Amino acid sequence: MAQKVLVPCSSSSSCGKVQFSPSRVHTQAIAFGGELSQSSSRKNKSLALKAVAAKGETSAPVTAKSGHEILLFDALREGLEEEMARDPTVCVMGEDVGHYGGSYKVTKGLAEKFGDLRVLDTPICENSFTGMGIGAAMTGLRTVVEGMNMGFLLLAYNQISNNAGMLHYTSGGQFKIPVVIRGPGGVGKQLGAEHSQRLESYFQSVPGLQMVACSTPYNAKGLMKAAIRSDNPVILYEHVLLYNLKERIPDEEYVLCLEEAELVRPGKDITILTYSRMRHFVLQAAKTLVERGYDPEIIDIRSLKPFDLFTIGNSIKKTHKVLIVEECMRTGGIGASLRAAIVDNFWDFLDGRPECLSSQDVPTPYAATLEDATVVQPAQIIVKVEQMLQGLI
Amino acid sequence: MARWRQRLLSSACSSSSSSAAAPQALLRLASSALSRQSSSRGFAAAPDDTTPFVVDIPVPYAGHRCDPPEQRVETSAKELVDFFKVMYVMRRMEIAADSLYKAKFIRGFCHLYDGQEAVCVGMEAALTKEDAIITAYRDHCTHIGRGGTVLEVMAELMGRKSGCSLGKGGSMHMYNKEGNFYGGNGIVGAQTALGAGLAFAQKYNKQNAVSLALYGDGAANQGQLFEAMNISALWDLPVIFVCENNHYGMGTAEWRSAKSPEYYKRGDYVPGLKIDGMDVLAVKQGVRFAKEHALTKGPIVLEMDTYRYHGHSMSDPGSTYRTREEISGVRQERDPIERVRKLLLAKEIVTVADLKNLEKQAKAEVDEAVNQAKEGGQPETHELFTHVHVKGLKQLAYGPDRKEVIVPLP
């Protein structure tokens, strides 16, 4: 069966014009019933989604009747299952991934289907089973290492940074490390400080790693498949609160591009860059912003390392204002690096400084109100955007 | 402590005196060998003779949860001469690296293996190229054992593009994919988990091969080693954990860092074997036994009782934590090359003049490699950005102008 694979436009396009790549055409055509022009009628269309557990109308490239509805954890499982069936060298290892079915059910049923060796229950030894996954990947196996919570992978930091990230370089290109390291991270619902870590800040400066964050069932499945097929070590960041997000995804096989950002809502007033759970907060805030007459362009950057500067740049060249909404802490987070990249590359196109809304530089508290105050909330996004668009900052 | 130092010199068991009579007493030719035709020179065996004969191993093995192998090993004249040749090349290579370091051709960290050659050479005699080896940073000679050339090692040490890692790895990052040599690792102990992964892949692919994860007495106290032993034993991975015990973790002697310096027993439920690491034939026998064990029963720990003459690295003089008498004592009593030399002479496989020739050849080989390596060019600037990533699934990372960039930075 021909694989419907979404590819970006490859021509060297002229700057300043937004290029809708075939993937985005595919995406947007269905959603807007074929309308691609940025007519003013779209301003009045209410495009924003509800925050969590919403039917993703703009991102899922299917009509109401085709495809199948799925929850995000199940989409990940589908992607993983398809890849394991397709390639016998793909194997999963992690705590409770096998007989238990995975602590978030991402590997449910796989051990029965593929056996204990391919869906391996490990003891609680992150350092060594991550190292084992990397060593096996050096020989050519495509290992998927699951951290039950991303925070636990801090114990395997040495393996991930020195061995996964750098081995291809220090061996002069002799060895490839096609490992996928995945797991839920981010601030959950009162999980406590040590289980609410955002590891993308820590790993982003390791050379050699590739990092992607999924946010909807559609991109979760596509990114999982792409990460497994990639010959580079990829860290796939899932979010602990997004596993039950429901969406209709295509029946046909599809693989997304790891390095590409997703244009969620085209607009012309301001560029809002976000990823993972904050995407849904931004969309929730966008509902209100649209009602008040603003036209934000929302991009889910998806690729945390490397950044898709082409998509981001085209957007900035159009809107001249950028707001980054992230869940990382202010210091040393993805937003910090993204701001630096935007200033370095698109300074001439900016009307004001690139703004960033991030989590507070504190350990995540347990109390519900304090935890809510740690992360960015939709109301803050609305206030910030209004300030920026009214020229107040 | 004095007893410990004494043990270093006598290798923990029946001491092998340095008299020339001892090797003769140790030899027991198999009866078939006696009827062998002598070569035209009237010697007992020609240097390229592959007829096997049996040699006794003076120092007994010590087993933990396993019956140690026999204290006799089969070898041949050719094998012994090859041992001598390759060990001597390794020795000369490490000494050359020493002078190059002092002349500032080699910078950074340089960990030399001289004294320990018997371990990697003996290992190779019992293994095939399907077996995988991974070690720590004292890897120059292991790289040679796995099929690397002296030129690649020297060029890599000097940071030239003709090096085995294109000059981008350095002393601690030498790899050889065809030889199934997985490095060359800088961080102490991390390679043991990788070694378990290599064995996992061998088991997954149903290969009839083993993986050897080498580590030192210093790394033997790393938690990840015990994690790796646990998962290897749990899943019967065909891995052999080899502790190259040279008795010092940089400046800290083993009795100052390990509550139990009996490293072959530290696997607890994993069987272990202690081997005289200065005797290349003992190493060969021990590794052959271990390979059989790993393929049939599961992981095993080998402790190689060995010694390094240099300090931990070139920045360490090696004499602040041990006496010069100790170093020269071990060199006199237990040097691996001298043992093979005595055996060759006692068995009358070669003459002293032959050995001198071999030594000269080895020295010439190493000198030639050094000169060639010195002439090698530095890597080009654009190589800074190559091999950071493998070409991606759909595309490499693009910069803002959509041209393919090699540096996928934000």
**Domain final residue pick, A229, A250, A271:** A250
CA distance A148 to chain B (A): 18
Is the same domain home to A276 and A311? Answer: yes
d(CA A119, CA A133): 12
Among A38-47, B35-44, B358-367, which stretch is predicted with the lowest mean pLDDT? Answer: A38-47
CA distances (Å), origin B328, targets A85, B21, B115: 61, 21, 11
Task: Please report the pLDDT score of residue B397 as a whole number.
Answer: 55
- Would you call B194 and A15 a contact, using CB atoms and an 8 Å cutoff? no
Q: Which two tokens stand for residue B117?
A: 């050659």
CA distance B297 to chain A (A): 18
- Would you call B409 and A341 a contact, using CB atoms and an 8 Å cutoff? yes
pTM of the model: 0.84
DSSP sequence for B276-341: ETT-HHHHHHHHHHHHHHHHHT--EEEEEE---SS-SSTT--S-SSS-HHHHHHHHHHH-HHHHHH
| Number of residues assigned to chain B | 410
d(CA B16, CA B305): 15
Task: Please report the pLDDT score of residue B13 as a whole number.
Answer: 41
Is the same domain home to A225 and A277? Answer: no
Amino acid letter, residue A38? Q
Among A14-23, B267-276, B293-302, which stretch is predicted with the lowest mean pLDDT? Answer: A14-23
Which of these, B216, B266, B269, B225, lies nearest to B243 by C-alpha position? B216
What is the CATH architecture of B53-375? 3-Layer(aba) Sandwich (3.40)
- When pLDDT is averaged across residues B157-177 and rounded to a whole number, the result is 95
Task: Please report the pLDDT score of residue B7 as a whole number.
Answer: 75
**Domain final residue pick, A226, A250, A274:** A250
Is the same domain home to A87 and A162? Answer: yes
pLDDT interval class at B1 (50, 70, 90):
low
Exposure class string for A14-36: b at 16+ Cβ within 10 A, else e:
eeeebebbebbebbbebbbeeee
Q: Residue A242's domain spans which residues?
A: 68-250
Is the same domain home to A153 and A269? Answer: no
Beta-carbon contacts of A309 under 8 Å, excluding residues fewer than 6 positions away, are: A341, A345, B398, B399, B400, B410
pLDDT interval class at B56 (50, 70, 90):
very high
Please indicate if any CB of chain A lies within 8 Å of the CB of B72: no
Of the candidates A132, A207, A259, the beta carbon closest to that of B200 is on A132
C-beta separation of B115 from B308 below 8 A: yes
Indicate if A95 belongs to the active site: no
Please indicate if any CB of chain A lies within 8 Å of the CB of B148: no
Q: Which two tokens stand for residue B398?
A: 């693009």
Residue A255 within any structural domain of the chain: no
Amino acid letter, residue A202? Y
pLDDT digits (tens, 9 = 90+) for B127-162: 999 999 999 999 999 999 999 999 999 999 999 999
Residue A6 within any structural domain of the chain: no
Residue A177 within any structural domain of the chain: yes
DSSP sequence for B185-206: -SSTTHHHHHHHHHHHHHHHTT
Beta-carbon contacts of A162 under 8 Å, excluding residues fewer than 6 positions away, are: B185, B186, B187, B190
Residue A18 within any structural domain of the chain: no
Task: Please report the pLDDT score of residue A359 as a whole number.
Answer: 96
Tally of domains within chain A: 2
Is the same domain home to A242 and A268? Answer: no
Q: Which residues of chain A are within 8 Å of residue B230 when distances are taken between CB atoms?
A: 123, 125, 128
Q: What does the mean pLDDT of chain B come to?
A: 87
pLDDT digits (tens, 9 = 90+) for B16-30: 443 433 333 333 333
Please indicate if any CB of chain A lies within 8 Å of the CB of B169: yes
Is the same domain home to A116 and A172? Answer: yes
Task: Please report the pLDDT score of residue B360 as a whole number.
Answer: 96
Task: Please report the pLDDT score of residue B363 as a whole number.
Answer: 96
Residue of B nearest to A317 (CA): B400
Task: Please report the pLDDT score of residue B390 as a whole number.
Answer: 85
**Domain final residue pick, A250, A282, A300:** A250
Is the same domain home to A137 and A241? Answer: yes
CB pairs under 8 A between A and B: 205
Indicate if A78 belongs to the active site: no
CA distance A386 to chain B (A): 28
> Per-domain residue ranges for chain B?
2-41, 53-375, 385-410
Catalytic residue among A78, A81, A146, A195: A195
Is the same domain home to A237 and A339? Answer: no
Residue A15 within any structural domain of the chain: no
What is the enclosing helix (H) or strand (E) of B22?
helix B21-26
CA distance B32 to chain A (A): 44
Task: Please report the pLDDT score of residue A316 as a whole number.
Answer: 96
Between positions 78 and 97 of A, the ones with CB within 8 A of B are 91
Q: Which residues of chain B are within 8 Å of residue A258 when distances are taken between CB atoms?
A: 392-394
- Complex ipTM > 0.85: no
Q: Which residues of chain A have pLDDT under 50?
A: 1-58
Please indicate if any CB of chain A lies within 8 Å of the CB of B384: no
Is the same domain home to A270 and A238? Answer: no
Task: Please report the pLDDT score of residue A101 as a whole number.
Answer: 92
Is the same domain home to A212 and A282? Answer: no
Is the same domain home to A245 and A266? Answer: no
Task: Please report the pLDDT score of residue A156 as a whole number.
Answer: 96
pLDDT interval class at B63 (50, 70, 90):
very high
Is the same domain home to A306 and A363? Answer: yes
d(CA B116, CA B214): 13
Residue A120 within any structural domain of the chain: yes
Q: Which two tokens stand for residue B151?
A: 């030129």
More confident residue, B40 or B327: B327
Task: Please report the pLDDT score of residue B11 as a whole number.
Answer: 57
Omega before residue A306 within 30° of 0, cis: yes
Please indicate if any CB of chain A lies within 8 Å of the CB of B399: yes
Domain harbouring A267, CATH code: 3.40.50.920
